[in-house]
Structure 1
Amino acid sequence: MMLVKPLTNAEVKNAKPQLKDYSLHDGFGLLLYVTKSGGKSWRFRYAHPITGKRQTFTIGRYPEFSLAEAREAREEARRKVARGIDPNEVKKEELSDRRKKHAQQFSVIADNWLKIKITEGIRSNTIRGYEGALKTLNSVLGDEPVHKMNAASTIQAMREFADRPASVEKMIVVLNSVMDYAVNTGVIDHNCLLKIGKAFPAKRSVPMPVMDKGRLPVFLSEWQGLSMWEPIRLCVYFQLLTMVRPSEARLAVWDEIDLDSAVWKIPAERMKGKRPHAVPLSAQAIAVLRNAEKWRRGAFIFPSGKKGDKPIGKCTGQIAIHKTSLSGEVVTHGLRSLASTVLNEEGFNPDVIEAALAHRSRNAIRNIYNRTDYFEQRRMLMQWWGDYVDSAERGELLETKGDKGLRLIG
């Protein structure tokens, strides 16, 4: 074998690119490979222990690997060859193992689960909730291989969040969804975390404030007197009249409105239940829309004051309500409950009320057979409710006979 003069640190450092790639040899198969673009890497040349064919084993880049470190790696590779082991095969196996371990990390599986959820058309705020829960979970569980996770260690890792019962409850729901996904994709055989929720304090249920109907005249009087961006005032009033959810009113667009037929057609993708909902519009609701036309800036019926092509903000209605004396009694979502309470007390058909609220029965069999949307009955109900709200705004409440359910059905 021809003797090779070992390289020096200075020679390695000062090796310059040439017109073609070239190599500087250090001896015993180690060489510094220099590309014409200036990149440098350490390589080990050897004969395959079985076939005898010449092979190249890449140790790593310079200067990440120093000359001394490259020599250590060469000696380790030479020992493998002497024992009949191919260094490249070992490297491939190690890389494969690392990839498998990485693929089994909770954070990786959670990311794959989230990608699938996004394709399912789930509402954006729900996706943001998933992302928030996963960010917290990954801070304590992200590097854990799911096949090694167990109830005891997971509970211990999540103890720091125990003083936030509502957050912990949501995180556990997301955590178990990810683990179920791992089961269904064959990463693990079973989900061992199903019962960990019992180890944390239960979330205290705080009922949503629902304004007493007798306070509606007070609220409307103060609401009309508040100084605010007018589309905010109109949006909350429109929501009250139509009995929809806050987001459904806030994100309403003009293309959904048929003023001639007095109908608002909300597409399925904007509804909580992912079913289209047609809202009969009372005379009062039509009046709100006529007023809103004065503020028209684009597609949205209730545009932002700062960005006309955007809707009013998610919390703007509630922030304005906080300025009234009924701040602790009224939340925007609670306006639906107020309407439901009044209509039920007045004897309207409960099925018609539920249809007006776009509620689905929890009874799956009932949903199959009861497919009517009670549209004409809802039109009568909506006009009665509009008249009721109108009378409250005048400082009085409609006197009723409590027989609305009979008249609507008959």
Structure 2
Amino acid sequence: MSFDARDIKLLPVGEHLTSPDFPGLRITASAGGRSWIYRYKSPVDGRMRQTKLGKWPAMSVHAAIAAWEQVRLGREGGVDPALIAKAAREDARRQLEQRRLAAEREAYTVAKVCDDYYLGHVRLSRARKGATEVRRMFDSMLGGTAGIPAAELTRAQAFDLIKSYAESAPVQASKLRAELGAAWDYAIDSGRLPETAANWWRLILRGKIQSKGKKISGKNVGTVKRVLSGEEVGTLIRWLPNFTALVEDVLTLYLWTGTRGAEICGMRGAEVTREADGLWWWTIPKARTKNARHANASDLRVPLYGRARNVVFRRRERFGDGFLFPARTKDVRPVEQKTVQVAVYYHQPYSQTTPNVQRSRLPISKRPVCTAFFP
């Protein structure tokens, strides 16, 4: 049977035409059109195989016969055209995948590593305040490093970024270095960075970034700390009424309970109970403590005595089981610890906030250990 154009056009789907003049050459009909096929026995392993030569009518009968002749001669020479075509396709796919990965790695910049780490880990596992600080560091401190392809980052580039902050802000430099190191680990674990990618952030300036201590009035006062003497504590307690009622109450709880500012500011009336021993206890849920991430940690139990108990009773009478130190906002939430710190700083002898405003100044300061009282 010859390959007549009319017969090819009328060929039903699933059928094929052959010709005794061209052994192995056939045209098949499918839902996608008509295709020229060469069917043969492999000279490599003797298995029946076929290879596509082209589509009709784009490939005419004469062109199909010429293509058939070429692959047939190759088969007679020991070449399996189907295996050759398969190898070519696999090589093309491999090259395409390599180009895709190269483009992806080039586009996967330092900034995108940080974004993935923040969205996939920090935002989900850190408290809001801590997560916000990490986001702020990534947004404001990466500079030109943000646009560098992460897989191509050099040790020198990582060093230059951290070193640029180490002199003026060593604490921030250390924090940035640690968060970038964790971000790199996250990217390597997720497969977005190759396992061979060096985590330079873990290696540079190890143990070489030293804090210069606190600054007061633009001068470094060092890292030496002190505690207040009994007489100074008495002076401070007598001075507390110079603050607003909220700040005075928060500072009183600092002194009488020794708990953290975030725990005090987030205190709820429902957390305070009188127990069988007749004593009043404040139970701080584990989720609000610094040990929240440790599986074996428990709630923090704080006994309430003296002025601390009086403060809590007075505020429970006013605010019930809700926040005892509510913020003045439309949404219901506790006052932020920073609000208390700012209020204390405002009364420090060295505070330059609105210097022309007359106000009482704290009689005790100078590098105390309690930064909540003396920001």
TM superposition score category, shorter chain reference:
0.5 to 0.7
**Does residue 1:217 correspond to 2:234, yes or no?**
yes
Q: Residues 199 and 265 (structure 1 numbering): CA distance in 2 closer, same or farther, change over 3 Å?
A: closer
Q: Separation in 2 of the partners of 1:321 and 1:334?
A: 8
Matching residue's letter, 1:114: Y
- Which residues in structure 2 correspond to 1:1-400 (within 5 Å)? 51=54, 97-102=102-107, 104-118=108-122, 120-162=124-166, 163-186=168-191, 187-188=193-194, 189=196, 190-198=198-206, 201-205=209-213, 206-208=223-225, 210-224=227-241, 226-228=242-244, 230-259=245-274, 261-274=279-292, 275=297, 276-293=299-316, 295-296=318-319, 299-305=322-328, 309-322=332-345, 323=347, 324-328=362-366, 330=368, 332-333=370-371
Q: Separation in 1 of the partners of 2:243 and 2:200?
A: 55
Q: Residues 298 and 282 (structure 1 numbering): CA distance in 2 closer, same or farther, change over 3 Å?
A: closer
Higher radius of gyration, 1 or 2: 2
Q: Residues 96 and 116 (structure 1 numbering): CA distance in 2 closer, same or farther, change over 3 Å?
A: closer
Is the Cα contact below 8 Å between 1:169 and 1:203 reproduced in 2? Answer: no
Q: Residues 160 and 334 (structure 1 numbering): CA distance in 2 closer, same or farther, change over 3 Å?
A: closer
Q: Deviations over 1:171-216 (max 9, x none)?
A: 1111111122233334232423322125965222424553222201
* Percent of residue pairs identical: 15
Is the Cα contact below 8 Å between 1:113 and 1:178 reproduced in 2? Answer: yes
Is the Cα contact below 8 Å between 1:234 and 1:302 reproduced in 2? Answer: no
Q: Residues 137 and 91 (structure 1 numbering): CA distance in 2 closer, same or farther, change over 3 Å?
A: farther
Q: Residues 52 and 171 (structure 1 numbering): CA distance in 2 closer, same or farther, change over 3 Å?
A: farther
**Secondary structure class of the residue paired with 1:233:** helix
Q: Which residue matches 2:23?
A: none
Is the Cα contact below 8 Å between 2:270 and 2:321 reproduced in 1? Answer: no
Q: Deviations over 1:16-52 (max 9, x none)?
A: xxxxxxxxxxxxxxxxxxxxxxxxxxxxxxxxxx745
The answer to which of 269-278 and 128-137 deviates more is 128-137
Q: Deviations over 1:101-120 (max 9, x none)?
A: 32x32222222222232365
**Secondary structure class of the residue paired with 2:202:** coil
**Secondary structure class of the residue paired with 1:181:** helix
Is the Cα contact below 8 Å between 2:269 and 2:320 reproduced in 1? Answer: no
Residue 248 of structure 1: CA displacement? Answer: 0.6
Q: Separation in 1 of the partners of 2:225 and 2:203?
A: 28
CA RMSD of superposed structures (Å): 3.5
Residue 219 of structure 1: CA displacement? Answer: 0.5
Q: Separation in 2 of the partners of 1:110 and 1:101?
A: 15
Q: Separation in 1 of the partners of 2:121 and 2:179?
A: 11
Residue 97 of structure 1: CA displacement? Answer: 4.6
Matching residue's letter, 2:174: E
Matching residue's letter, 2:336: G
Q: Residues 327 and 176 (structure 1 numbering): CA distance in 2 closer, same or farther, change over 3 Å?
A: same
Residue 330 of structure 1: CA displacement? Answer: 5.0
Q: Separation in 2 of the partners of 1:259 and 1:239?
A: 21
Q: Deviations over 1:71-115 (max 9, x none)?
A: xxxxxxxxxxxxx99xxx99998666533432x322222222222
**Secondary structure class of the residue paired with 2:291:** coil
Q: Separation in 2 of the partners of 1:284 and 1:171?
A: 41
Is the Cα contact below 8 Å between 1:257 and 1:264 reproduced in 2? Answer: yes
Is the Cα contact below 8 Å between 2:326 and 2:332 reproduced in 1? Answer: yes
**Secondary structure class of the residue paired with 2:212:** coil
Is the Cα contact below 8 Å between 1:209 and 1:328 reproduced in 2? Answer: no
Q: Separation in 1 of the partners of 2:254 and 2:229?
A: 17
Q: Separation in 2 of the partners of 1:265 and 1:199?
A: 39
TM-score, reference length from structure 2: 0.58
Q: Separation in 1 of the partners of 2:369 and 2:317?
A: 27
Is the Cα contact below 8 Å between 1:110 and 1:134 reproduced in 2? Answer: yes
Q: Separation in 2 of the partners of 1:140 and 1:208?
A: 38
Is the Cα contact below 8 Å between 1:300 and 1:310 reproduced in 2? Answer: yes
Q: Which residue matches 2:217?
A: none
Structure 2: runs of 5+ lacking an equivalent? 1-52, 59-87, 214-222, 348-361
Q: Separation in 1 of the partners of 2:114 and 2:183?
A: 6
**Number of aligned residues:** 254
Is the Cα contact below 8 Å between 1:318 and 1:332 reproduced in 2? Answer: no
**Secondary structure class of the residue paired with 1:278:** strand
**Secondary structure class of the residue paired with 2:171:** helix
Q: Deviations over 1:265-321 (max 9, x none)?
A: 111111011132111222432211122235428721112345583322322323333
